[in-house]
Structure 1
Amino acid sequence: MLTGACRRSLFVIGMIGCLHSVASRLGAQQQGMALVRERTVDAGFGGVGAIAVDHRGRLYVSDFMSQHILVFSSDGVLTDTIGRSGRGPGEYTAIGAIVIGRGDTLFTLDLALRRITAYSPGKSTVAYTLSVPRVPGQGLANLLLAPSSGFVVGHSDPYQASAPSRPEVSLRLLGADGTLAKRPLFTVPRVEALIQRLGKNSTSVGPLPYGRESFAQLGLGDRIYWNWSGSLRVVAVDRTGASAVVLDETALSVPVHQADLDLLIGSYENPKERDALRLALRGPNVPQTKPATRAMVVDDRGRIWVGRIGKDDQVVMRGGVLSYTSPTGTMSWEVLDGERRERVSLPEGVLLRVVRGGKAYGVERDADGLETIVVFAVRSH
């Protein structure tokens, strides 16, 4: 979801000693952590959008098909539904990011209405709303962070079919009074897309196989942690725009072979879609190498969870969504905790979204594209 020019840093000095140590510990893995599956949360989701978890363990799941948010107790029981389709207060047209902010307040973002909605802890009635101002030439990105005051929102450049370009997402502070900062805190690359011409005046924009994307999460001290999936580099940015590198390692360059593309094309059931993809993959912007990461999560203890892409992992169409598949059937996660590093494995169909209160919450997608929420206990040996 995001891109990268960062600036000077005051907190670099305090962090610099451990940063070089963390970055130099390639291969120094600890084996003291395990994720133990506790439960599956399934409410017949039409399409899982975002997940958020509050301090009491209540789970909030947005459903972009139904345009509402389902609320589950800490033991997985459905207790409430927030919102519905519409344009009024508490209604959604294009529900996007949802986050838990200060005081366990739930904040939601509607991309079409350009509106942030706040709900008091444990309540399904609207506390207040806030409009997100426009930025000329950019659209609203699906990004919402809630630091100790105000918000961080993103505005993205449009994709261009006429010429090669790298659109960016600019992250800006949004005050509680609705004032948007004129200058971005920093910018990150927008997710790479497969752009196809459908005629003289129309194009399609879809996911790019083996494409890169940006991950941005709010961590301790209101720092924003950012990773571009083409690298093993994580940068922390504070609310002044000051930045520090917290992980910087050389990622193994793994080529995308023709056999990888043939497997992908063959995973499409529709012959016309296979032919269209085969033609599109001949374009100049198709990645020549595989990304390094699939996801990044920053937990409530400040640990950074990085989902890795293995050298033998391949992209296939599964249940209508491009997904990575591995010969081992698993996905490796590296957990960075200061100078300590641990590694855990999860089924390849599970993608972690939130780690909080000793629990890890992920979305599991089966071969038919059906999604459920899986909750794991984080245990140390």
Structure 2
Amino acid sequence: MKHPRVFLHIIIFVALVGCLNQDSVEVPEEIRDLENLEVYPAELKPELDINIEKEREFGDTDTVHLGAILKDFAVDDNGRVYIADLRENKIHVFNPDGSYVQAIGRAGRGPGEFQMIWAIQVSNDHLHVLDFNQSKISTFSLQTYEHIRDIDVSLENQPSEKPAWVDQSRRYQAFLKPTDFFILPDDKYLIFFSDPGVTTADHLDKRTYQASIFNIKTGEYENHNLFSFRWTGQVLVHDNLIMFKVPYKRSSQFDFNHNTLVYGWTNDPLFKFYSMDGEYQRALYYPLKRVNLEEEDALAVYQAADEQLINAIRNDDLPDSWPAFNTLKLDDEKRIWISVTSEDLDVFEWWVLKDSGELLTTFTLPRDYSIEVIKDDYFYTHEIDRETGLQRIVKYRVEMN
């Protein structure tokens, strides 16, 4: 057993180290007072090297044409890839070797049919598909690809009292519906609500993500006030033009894995961890160097922009810098993958962080290569051919050493 005085000295030493670490880095005032905040130095050195090899593409074949409208995709434990086709309202299934298997679902309003596929997940030999228009989640077998059930996840038909944010959001012309979900243990969904139907710039800053837990067995929501994050959708609104995913706009980014949710607002390299009951646990902060934003750089992202878009950007209130980061992903080892804005605006610098915060490794990818799924020793990107506009999913093998 340690002597009490020695133990006290250890506590004081740890506290001083934490204070020195935070005081040596400029931390915004609104962040500084967070509990359990770990601040990292400005110059981080990665612990490991990384080797990335392109292994497979999933896209057009002789029998199927995916076109240019891919909404989401998922990968099962056997390496099969499931790609949501927004135009055809079906899920295309590919073997790990890239060969085509079949399509699941079709357009319609019946069982296992879709009006607008919005998000998909795989878990426990099942494929789960969220239909935005119908506010339902359809489940299919990964063994037979047969439809199992549809679950109504709308709020309109719920017997329980609606959460307060329903009426609050409607005052700002926002009508929140299920737009994302994650699969929890014990037959439950973590469902996120938002309203991506932007028709005006009014009250854009009032919109939020709201999260609830849905019990599949009872068919009812059991917790409505789990998380509340701001939503902007990275939208540019000018006259009759509405542009989504504008790269210099700020947005909420979050991901969920192993009963942990990590959230970040892209303006700040701050990542907050939450438990499944919605309780804040801790945060990591990285004082990244900001990349200045010039009007010509914002315009250069859109290589073939028309006059209306050019005028919209020139009339927009541009921030002084690009977002600190763009994308946040949490892998099956609870490592955080973030795409960081670099001086070379043609690429993102990707950081891989331990869940404890240390920098594991870094690498670069073109801006158009968006990492969406990280599974085992692979990551899968959504890539767009700028010349043809065609989209594909690409599988890369990753080795860190």
TM-score, normalised to structure 1's length? 0.81
Letter in 2 for 1:372: R
2:277 aligned with 1:277? no
Q: Which residue of 1 aligns with 2:370?
A: 351
Q: Which residue of 1 aligns with 2:304?
A: 268
- Structure 1 residues 289 and 361 mapped into 2: Cα distance closer, same or farther (>3 Å)? same
Q: Which moved more, 1:228-237 or 1:53-62?
A: 228-237
* Alignment check: 8 A CA contact 2:189 2:213 kept: yes
Q: Deviations over 1:321-364 (max 9, x none)?
A: xxxxx1xxx43211112435211223443211111121111112
- Structure 1 residues 165 and 218 mapped into 2: Cα distance closer, same or farther (>3 Å)? closer
**2:220 match: secondary structure:** coil
Q: Which residue of 1 aligns with 2:84?
A: 62
Q: Which moved more, 1:152-161 or 1:226-235?
A: 152-161
Structure 1 spans left out of the alignment, 5+ residues: 1-8, 314-325
Q: Which residue of 2 aligns with 1:3?
A: none
**2:262 match: secondary structure:** strand
**2:221 match: secondary structure:** coil
Distance 1:262 1:223 in 2: 38
Q: Following superposition of structure 1 onto structure 2, how do residues 11-50 of structure 1 map, counting pairs within 5 Å?
A: 20=38, 23-24=40-41, 26-43=43-60, 44-46=65-67, 47-50=69-72
Q: Deviations over 1:58-113 (max 9, x none)?
A: 11111111111111122222112111111111111110100113x13211100000
Measure how far apart 1:304 and its partner are.
Answer: 1.2
Q: Which residue of 1 aligns with 2:153?
A: 132
Q: Which moved more, 1:33-42 or 1:337-346?
A: 337-346
Identify the match of residue 214 of structure 1 among 249, 252, 272.
Answer: 252
Q: Which residue of 1 aligns with 2:214?
A: 174
Q: Which moved more, 1:303-312 or 1:245-254?
A: 245-254
Structure 2 spans left out of the alignment, 5+ residues: 1-33, 156-165
Measure how far apart 1:262 and its partner are.
Answer: 4.4
Identify the match of residue 136 of structure 2 among 115, 124, 135.
Answer: 115
Measure how far apart 1:142 and its partner are.
Answer: 2.4
- Structure 1 residues 109 and 120 mapped into 2: Cα distance closer, same or farther (>3 Å)? same
Q: Following superposition of structure 1 onto structure 2, how do residues 1-381 of structure 1 map, counting pairs within 5 Å?
A: 20=38, 23-24=40-41, 26-43=43-60, 44-46=65-67, 47-101=69-123, 103-134=124-155, 135-136=166-167, 137=170, 138-149=175-186, 150-157=188-195, 159=198, 160-162=200-202, 165-176=205-216, 177-181=218-222, 183-190=224-231, 191-198=233-240, 204=242, 206-220=244-258, 222-264=259-301, 267-269=303-305, 273-274=306-307, 276-283=308-315, 285-313=317-345, 326=346, 330-337=347-354, 338=356, 339-368=358-387, 369-381=389-401
Letter in 2 for 1:53: V
Note the aligned Cα RMSD (angstroms).
Answer: 2.6
**2:88 match: secondary structure:** coil
* Alignment check: 8 A CA contact 2:256 2:330 kept: yes
**2:109 match: secondary structure:** coil
Q: Deviations over 1:131-164 (max 9, x none)?
A: 1123443322421111213111122256553456
* Alignment check: 8 A CA contact 1:297 1:304 kept: yes
Distance 1:303 1:104 in 2: 24
Q: Which moved more, 1:242-251 or 1:349-358?
A: 242-251
Distance 1:155 1:345 in 2: 32
Measure how far apart 1:50 and its partner are.
Answer: 0.9
Letter in 1 for 2:106: R
Letter in 2 for 1:256: L
Measure how far apart 1:181 and its partner are.
Answer: 4.3
Distance 1:223 1:264 in 2: 34
Distance 1:293 1:361 in 2: 19
**1:146 match: secondary structure:** strand
The structure with more radius of gyration: 2
* Alignment check: 8 A CA contact 2:248 2:298 kept: no
**2:372 match: secondary structure:** strand
Q: Which residue of 1 aligns with 2:163?
A: none
Measure how far apart 1:173 and its partner are.
Answer: 1.2
**2:56 match: secondary structure:** strand
- Structure 1 residues 36 and 312 mapped into 2: Cα distance closer, same or farther (>3 Å)? closer
Count of aligned positions: 340
Measure how far apart 1:189 and its partner are.
Answer: 1.9
* Alignment check: 8 A CA contact 1:233 1:245 kept: no
